[in-house]
Amino acid sequence: MGGANSAARHHSASPAPCAPRADTIWRTPRGMGMVAARVYYGWVIVAICAVTLAATSGARFSFGVFLKPIADANDWDRASLSFAITLNLILGGLLQPLAGAIVDRYGARLIGTLGALVLGIGFLGLSVADQLWQYYLLYGVISGIGVAATSTVLSAKLIATWFVEKRGTALSMASSGNAIGQLLIVPFATWLLISRGFATGFVAVGAIALCIVTPLYWLFVRDRPRTGETETTTSLRSPIDADGLPVRAVFAHPVFWQLTFGLTVCGITMAFPSTHLMPYAMDMHMPEMVAGAALGLAGGLSFPAALAVGWLADRFGRGRVLAVVYALRGLTFVVLLFATTEAMWFLAAIALGLSWTGTVPLSTAIAADYFGRKHLGLISGLMVMAMWVASGVAAFIAGFIYDHSQSYDMALVGNAFLGLAATVVSLGIARERLTPRAPTPVTSRGVS
């Protein structure tokens, strides 16, 4: 009896020699074996989210590349064809809260897989479309649904579930996929347009969604970590618990409205560079190549800036870093207002690039810290919807201002003021602190 008890004590005191530690392995979700590597599986999730956002952003921006050739080939006016883009933006924006609520209920893996599938089908259909209503249906409606189902709302809930301590870094790395899509897929689509035509370009973009993103999501995404699988061996708190405030309490919380105001400003201030920057450059007698190079510089800087912003936010406070991002956004328009030299244009591009992709991941990380993860899909969906709708309205207002004043000055001043306002509002968000709990030993399942 004593020998048996001694053996039992020996067994409980130390794991079996062949049992691997939970922090030194990761498993594929389909049981494809155990890989000995010091990689937390959450970083695999981050990589998949980045690839997904690269595909969706590349798809959205590539349609602009094909716009003129399609209009010329079918003898359509650009305004009529552009309505497909308007429909895509409005529908994609309005569907963000619904997509978030569905993710909260059914998980990101299923919704992301279906979203990529729908997006791919929409673009494959565009390769054979020859009627205007078909573009409205395939790009405006079907692809709009696909974009909403694979947007940052999806990655927000997924990554916030996998990460706590490095949440800002992880969300920023995933969001950098937006910049990657613009830097890689859009030039690829342009090359295909020149060499093969827009139909081949649509097939290629659709194939990326169908043949890369769809299987990645279905085979390798897990909605939550397994028991004992934590971000670090002394994680501040378990990322598994689905805690969270009730939705009614979230709406009554000032931080929700502060974050929503900030993202609304983000949508407004990104509308001008996206739609009116090149016309403004021409009005300022700036060479088109200089303006194009400045915009390219902004896009190129957005990728390393996203990584740096996430890293800084996890170390110095997400609210404070978010305020700096909005300050840089406002500074962009102050510089543009007085940009009479090439150097000033590139200075504005640097400020814009540093603030391009930091707002959404930081806002989502702060929302997860304050409100928990239970309803994060719906919460982030509502905030992102405000951003998308504001962007569409702001693009129209800037054009309206120019048509009535023959100048963009009022629009630039308004954007600079909003950047300052968002900075002040973000500073009002208290620096969040994660209260560390007593670390618990990290062990594999089945080992005491």
Average pLDDT, the chain: 81
What gap in Å lies between CA 10 and CA 205, rounded to an integer? 58
DSSP state of 24: G
Per-residue pLDDT tens digits for 293-303: 787 788 778 88
For domain 247-427, the CATH superfamily is MFS general substrate transporter like domains (1.20.1250.20)
The answer to whether the beta carbons of residues 25 and 34 sit under 8 Å apart is yes
If you search the block for the tokens 């194009």, which residue do you land on?
292
The answer to whether the beta carbons of residues 226 and 445 sit under 8 Å apart is yes
The pLDDT score that the predictor gives to residue 210 is: 94
- Long-range own/partner contacts, residues 196-199 (CB < 8 A, 24 or more apart): 197/69, 198/66, 198/69, 198/70, 198/73, 199/127, 199/128
For domain 41-220, the CATH superfamily is MFS general substrate transporter like domains (1.20.1250.20)
Q: What is the 3-state secondary structure (H, E, C) of 233-267?
A: CCCCCCCCCCCECCHHHHHCCHHHHHHHHHHHHHH
* 41-220 and 247-427 agree in CATH topology: yes
Which candidate, 261, 267, 265, 284, places its Cα nearest to that of 417?
265
Q: What is the mean pLDDT of residues 47-53?
A: 93
Per-residue pLDDT tens digits for 369-402: 888 888 888 999 999 999 988 887 887 888 888 8
Per-residue pLDDT tens digits for 79-105: 788 788 878 888 888 999 999 999 988
Q: Could you give the 3-state DSSP secondary structure of residue 27?
A: strand
Strand partners, 180: none
Amino acid identity for residue 153 in this structure = V
What gap in Å lies between CA 265 and CA 284, rounded to an integer? 25
* Alpha-carbon distances of 156 from 103, 122, 310, 366, 411, rounded to whole Å: 10, 24, 14, 11, 31
DSSP assignments along 304-360, one per residue: HHHHHHHHHHHHH-HHHHHHHHHHHHHHHHHHHHT--SHHHHHHHHHHHHHTSSSHH
Residue 197 has pLDDT above 70, yes or no: yes
Domain spans of the chain? 41-220, 247-427
